[in-house]
Structure 1
């Protein structure tokens, strides 16, 4: 009698564990094998790896850019986006 009362306390835990076991075993049976997935996607994996290697090689072998040219390239765009500076607050102090 005591054992069944203790088991009733954990009925949701036991039910959750059983459902989890059924879901995991179903996924293992139904899901494709890793080798099948690898065989399907190997061109994508290979091209991505080659692209990353090319990025690293070009980053290591390229000449460092001069800072003056890089800084000036974006200044015109930033000035255009920011617009002209507003000096209304400064002018109001000067007129008083």
Structure 2
């Protein structure tokens, strides 16, 4: 009886250990091998890597935009109004009765 009570005290640890063993077993024997996955998806990995290299290349070679140029920003007034920093509404507000 004393052994049974000790086992019941550690039932969660025993269950956790069994789950870990089951996970390791399934990982080793049921999951496809990494080289098989790599052999199947290598064109996708290669094209993604080339695309990211192109993005980095164009990001480095493009000239930074002139920060002092007066570029019109049509939504800036609306953003200020929504944020509460602008006292007047950016658009003509027509009140209808």
Tell me the TM-score normalised to structure 1 length.
0.65
**2:36 corresponding residue in structure 1:** 36
**1:64 corresponding residue in structure 2:** 64
Q: Provide the C-alpha distance between the structure 2 equivalents of 1:9 and 1:41, rounded to a whole number of angstroms.
A: 48
Q: Output one character per residue of 1:8-66: Cα deviation in whole Å (capped at 9) or x when no partner.
A: 32133213312331232023211100000111111111111111111111111112222
Structure 2 residue matching 1:63: 3-state secondary structure: coil
Q: Which structure dedicates a bigger proportion of its chain to helix? A: 1
Q: Provide the C-alpha distance between the structure 2 equivalents of 1:4 and 1:36, rounded to a whole number of angstroms.
A: 46
1:8 aligns with 2:15: no
Extract structure 1 runs of 4+ deviating beyond 3 A: 1-5, 77-83
Q: Provide the C-alpha distance between the structure 1 equivalents of 2:15 and 2:4, rounded to a whole number of angstroms.
A: 15
Higher relative contact order (CA 8 A, sep 6+): 2
Unpaired runs of 5+ in structure 1? 87-96
Q: How many pairs were matched up?
A: 83
C-alpha spacing 1:15/1:63, structure 2 compared with 1 (3 Å): closer
Tell me the TM-score normalised to structure 2 length.
0.64
C-alpha spacing 1:78/1:14, structure 2 compared with 1 (3 Å): same
1:76 aligns with 2:71: no
